[in-house]
Amino acid sequence: MTSDLASCLWHQTCQETPAFEELTGEAEADLVVIGGGFTGCSAALKAAEMGASVHLIEADETGSGGSGRNVGLVNAGLWLPPEDINAELGAGTGSRLSQLLAGAPDMVFSLITKHAIQCEAETGGTLHCAHAPAGMKDLQRRHAQLRAIGAPVQLLPRDDAIQRTGSEAVHGALFDPRAGTIQPLAFVRGLARAAARAGAQLHEHSAATAISRDGSTWHVATPKGSIRAKHLIMATNAYARSLSGYAAPQVIPVHYFQAATDPLPAPLLRQILPMKEGCWDTALVMSSWRLDQAGRLIIGGMGALDHFGSALHRSWLPRKLAALYPDLKEAQLRSHWHGRIAMTAEHLPKILDLQGGFACFGYSGRGIGPGTLFGTAMAEALLTGDSTCLPVPPVPDHSLPFASLRSTYYETGATLTHLISNR
Ligand SMILES: Cc1cc2nc3c(=O)[nH]c(=O)nc-3n(C[C@H](O)[C@H](O)[C@H](O)COP(=O)(O)OP(=O)(O)OC[C@H]3O[C@@H](n4cnc5c(N)ncnc54)[C@H](O)[C@@H]3O)c2cc1C
């Protein structure tokens, strides 16, 4: 495990503990998957269930990337509301994507049940909370667009939102009953366990160091082994390591950090999120909060914890917590960690056509449902030769100029906001 993950709550409380040996020697397979997050593990599971031989290689440990660091909100869609998706992709492709993603939480929760994944699943929905009266405008727009495509979302007025969150700091909320929360590391490890049980060969501490193609065969090299396969899925997303023979698609890395209280006493848990919905807000520099199974409140905001301005993020977090819940103003926040989100310029995920393989990236902060859906679909498309099951048509190329400049813009914005914000 990379050293920064030791402080991640999900790594401290995970009940799923599969471990996989490093790849040694030469192997052959129908499909090789690179990256052990939601995308890669769901692809490996689907391929194995289809009867294919599949090897998955992970550079570190399962869930070391975004999948083991995230907030755990299982959403039924992307960050963009449906009409904005249609404006980018066209009405046909956009509506199909929104409809497929509407079913993504069901897909995730069904996999959890089917494979008995111990990941603290809560299916009581999520609350997108208005951080200020102006935030309600955004929620009304989202509500109208989501209702228009048949989503069972409800707009809650301020009093109802206060009752549901237990916080007087919210000004209304959009409730999505299809959504929920999970312990994200446990979910991805559970997918890996299920994939192995279905016959997939998984290898940790096995970074791909070189990729090449010989006719219709992919060759993937690792420090101690190699795999030859007909099909390839690159599922390395924001955590792509450099390797010879392959340039990972550019994304805008945006950081997000979190920390957790100790388990809250029962009287507080009767007031704070009594129905255990996961929450995030409408602020431009967004925050999120949710409970875990033990009753810890996990709170987060945009920003990285590894640069000279990170102290500003850390000192803002207890102020935010106290603004949301004055009863928690003395609460200790522990287990600080952060992770890297892969954004695209359009805030939409992409599938890159590698001719005999796919690379998938850019869920833009919504990867639990989408990653599970895209990973599953990519395996199916490659093994059946029918790409119509893909949620979006694959693109032949991708470029994103000024990605690191854009990343600096987000980080600077978050740091300055946390500097001046008293809540
Ligand atoms: C802090 C944070 C909060 C988030 N909150 C949410 C949320 O609440 N809800 C939600 O839906 N989404 C959320 N997301 C987004 C979501 O976590 C990601 O979109 C998702 O995890 C991406 O999954 P993935 O499998 O594509 O990539 P990852 O999980 O990042 O996996 C990529 C893997 O590839 C491996 N790898 C890289 N290079 C190599 C190589 N050369 N060889 C072998 N392996 C390699 C990495 O080690 C890594 O494990 C959040 C993300 C972050 C960072």
Confidence (pLDDT) at 24:
98
**Ligand 1 contact, 241 CB (< 6 A):** yes
Nearest alpha carbon, ligand 1 atom 19: 367
Q: Ligand 1 centroid vs 67 CA: distance in angstroms?
A: 4
Q: Is 153 helix (H, G, I), strand (E, B) or coil?
A: coil
Confidence (pLDDT) at 421:
77
Q: Ligand 1 centroid vs 325 CA: distance in angstroms?
A: 30
Confidence (pLDDT) at 422:
62
**Ligand 1 contact, 298 CB (< 6 A):** no
Question: Which residue from 204, 193, 227, 235 is spatially nearest to 45, judged by alpha carbons?
Answer: 193
**Ligand 1 contact, 5 CB (< 6 A):** no
Q: Ligand 1 centroid vs 71 CA: distance in angstroms?
A: 12
Neighbours of 97 (CB within 10 A): 24
**Ligand 1 contact, 220 CB (< 6 A):** no
Q: Ligand 1 centroid vs 321 CA: distance in angstroms?
A: 26
Question: Which residue from 184, 203, 171 is spatially nearest to 36, judged by alpha carbons?
Answer: 203
pLDDT digits (tens, 9 = 90+) for 150-191: 999 999 999 999 999 999 999 999 999 999 999 999 999 999
pLDDT digits (tens, 9 = 90+) for 342-389: 999 889 999 999 999 999 999 999 999 999 999 999 999 999 999 999
Q: Is 125 left (phi over 0), alpha (psi -120 to 50) or beta?
A: left
Q: Is 280 left (phi over 0), alpha (psi -120 to 50) or beta?
A: beta
Confidence (pLDDT) at 423:
65
Confidence (pLDDT) at 404:
80
**Ligand 1 contact, 191 CB (< 6 A):** no
DSSP 365-402: T--HHHHHHHHHHHHHHHHHS-GGGSSS--BS----TT
**Ligand 1 contact, 187 CB (< 6 A):** no
**Ligand 1 contact, 364 CB (< 6 A):** no
Q: Ligand 1 centroid vs 269 CA: distance in angstroms?
A: 30
Distance CA 218, CA 172 (A): 52
Low-confidence ranges of the chain (pLDDT < 50): none
Q: Ligand 1 centroid vs 225 CA: distance in angstroms?
A: 24
